[in-house]
Amino acid sequence: MNKKNHTSLIHISKRREVSLGRRWGIRALAIILAFVLSAVVTMIITGLNPIEVYATMLKGAFGTPRKMWTLGQEIAILLCVSLALTPAFRMRFWNLGGEGQVLIGGLACAASMILLGDKIPNALLILIMTVTSIAAGALWAVIPAIFKAKWGTNETLFTLMMNYVATQLVAYYIIVWEVPRGSGKIGIINQNTQAGWFPQIGNFKYLLNILIVLVLTFVVYVYMKRSKQGYEISVVGESTNTARYVGIKVERVIIRTLLLSGAICGLTGLLLVGSTNHTITTTISGGRGFTAVMVAWLANFNPIAMIFSSFLLVFFSQGAGEISTAFGLNQSYADIMMGIVLFFIIGSEFFINYKLHLRKNTGKEGA
């Protein structure tokens, strides 16, 4: 033909209804492909047998009962933060302050343990720890929420900034309460009396945490799906105009939801300090406030699906530790693999929503 003939070879169109089975089929295929690609990359870069690498990762996550308990604990804590972010995210309020809200909850818990330990009955102490942690987390989240509701400030920046404030506050109190003097850390709180330590169920150190988070998962699921407040959150998230039109007080919903979101973050801090570590550091949250964003998005804000997405992320980080010791690979190597898997999972959403058409007859007749 006389003019350039560049009929697009690939054509994209949106799918209409996508069945649930097909959705998960595409996702499963994406994960399998991701593992195949990771295997190829592993072979090329390291020359190792990828099957062995995967086996080692599995061993790192499930190898011993202790490892499995750790896996469960890590999933529970990450899931707890993800559950906290869910109501806010459903409302399109991008709460990136999970990190700070967890920290401040933990700080409130540690403060109660240090200041009140051995002075009041243990049950009362645990009650006070619970209330103060949850209240502190809620407070940390509601400050940006009030500013957003009243003056329309940007919640992303505000919640991020609150993280730094929380970190510095914790750093300050670590110096105030450091044991022993000059060590720069608090150490185990109430080590001798175990005052304020959460009770342990049988011999299982992490079981209580796991059970609490499981119950919470169900509660958040029902709250979001069935409650009037959950419905209001969805309406506000989809369209504040519609919300106002049906008489929903948008400002009130924003504040109420962030109180809830922060409260669950505060609860996470409580579980970390009161139930697990019995101490506080500035890194106790360990970036979970941000990882949880990924968990929540991957699960499309469905609390039940978050169990799986948090499992996936924790599995990789646990497995990573194992391969770095077993093969002398850098810790970053697991991050590369996780990056490949996440890329495929997120990419699969495109194939769920869109369809590719390959054009067979390139160009028109008479070309």
Residue 252 binds another protein, judged by CB under 8 A: no
Query: x/- site string to another protein, residues 307 to 346, per CB under 8 A?
Result: ----------------------------------------
Residue 226 binds another protein, judged by CB under 8 A: yes
Contact criterion met (CB below 8 Å) for 302 and 82: no
> Taking contact as CB under 8 A, which single stretch among the options 104-112, 172-180, 242-250, 278-286 is the one that binds another protein?
242-250
Identify which of residues 90 and 148 has a Cβ nearer to another protein in the complex: 90
Identify which of residues 193 and 239 has a Cβ nearer to another protein in the complex: 239
* Dihedral of the alpha carbons of 13, 241, 86, 135, in degrees to the nearest 10: 170
Residue 219 CA, distance from chain mean position: 17
Residue 350 binds another protein, judged by CB under 8 A: no
Instruction: State which of positions 253-292 bind another protein (CB under 8 A).
Output: none
3-state secondary structure of 182: coil
Q: How far lies 69's CA from each of 22, 54, 63, 211, 367, in Å?
A: 33, 20, 11, 13, 67
User: Which amino acid is located at 17 in the chain?
Assistant: E
Query: x/- site string to another protein, residues 153 to 192, per CB under 8 A?
Result: ----------------------------------------
Rg of the chain over Cα atoms, rounded to whole angstroms, equals: 24
> Taking contact as CB under 8 A, which single stretch among the options 132-140, 157-165, 173-181, 357-365 is the one that binds another protein?
357-365
Residue 239 binds another protein, judged by CB under 8 A: yes
Among 238, 300, 304, 350, binds another protein (CB under 8 A): 238
Residue 227 binds another protein, judged by CB under 8 A: yes
Contact criterion met (CB below 8 Å) for 281 and 291: no
Among 66, 241, 328, 358, binds another protein (CB under 8 A): 241
Identify which of residues 224 and 334 has a Cβ nearer to another protein in the complex: 224
Q: CB of 243: closest distance to another protein in angstroms?
A: 9
Both tokens of 344, joined, read 């495929």
Both tokens of 303, joined, read 């609390």
Residue 360 binds another protein, judged by CB under 8 A: no
Identify which of residues 120 and 352 has a Cβ nearer to another protein in the complex: 352
Among 65, 228, 328, 358, binds another protein (CB under 8 A): 228
Residues whose CB falls within 8 Å of the CB of residue 87, separated by 6 or more in sequence, listed in order:
220, 223, 224, 230, 233, 257, 260, 261
> Taking contact as CB under 8 A, which single stretch among the options 231-239, 250-258, 269-277, 324-332 is the one that binds another protein?
231-239
CA atoms within 13 A on the CB side of 17: 3
3-state secondary structure of 201: strand
Paired strand residues for 357: 11
- Please tell me the distance from the alpha carbon of residue 196 to that of residue 244, in angstroms, as a whole number: 46
> Taking contact as CB under 8 A, which single stretch among the options 58-66, 177-185, 191-199, 226-234 is the one that binds another protein?
226-234
Residue 193 binds another protein, judged by CB under 8 A: no
Residue 242 binds another protein, judged by CB under 8 A: yes
Q: How far lies 39's CA from each of 53, 54, 127, 171, in Å?
A: 9, 9, 50, 42
Identify which of residues 41 and 248 has a Cβ nearer to another protein in the complex: 248
Among 22, 150, 252, 357, binds another protein (CB under 8 A): 357
- Please tell me the distance from the alpha carbon of residue 317 to that of residue 335, in angstroms, as a whole number: 8
- Please tell me the distance from the alpha carbon of residue 233 to that of residue 216, in angstroms, as a whole number: 18
- Please tell me the distance from the alpha carbon of residue 353 to that of residue 335, in angstroms, as a whole number: 28
Residue 152 binds another protein, judged by CB under 8 A: no
Residue 366 binds another protein, judged by CB under 8 A: yes
Binding residues (CB under 8 A) for another protein: these are 1, 5-8, 11, 13-17, 226-231, 234-235, 238-239, 241-242, 244-247, 355, 357, 363-364, 366
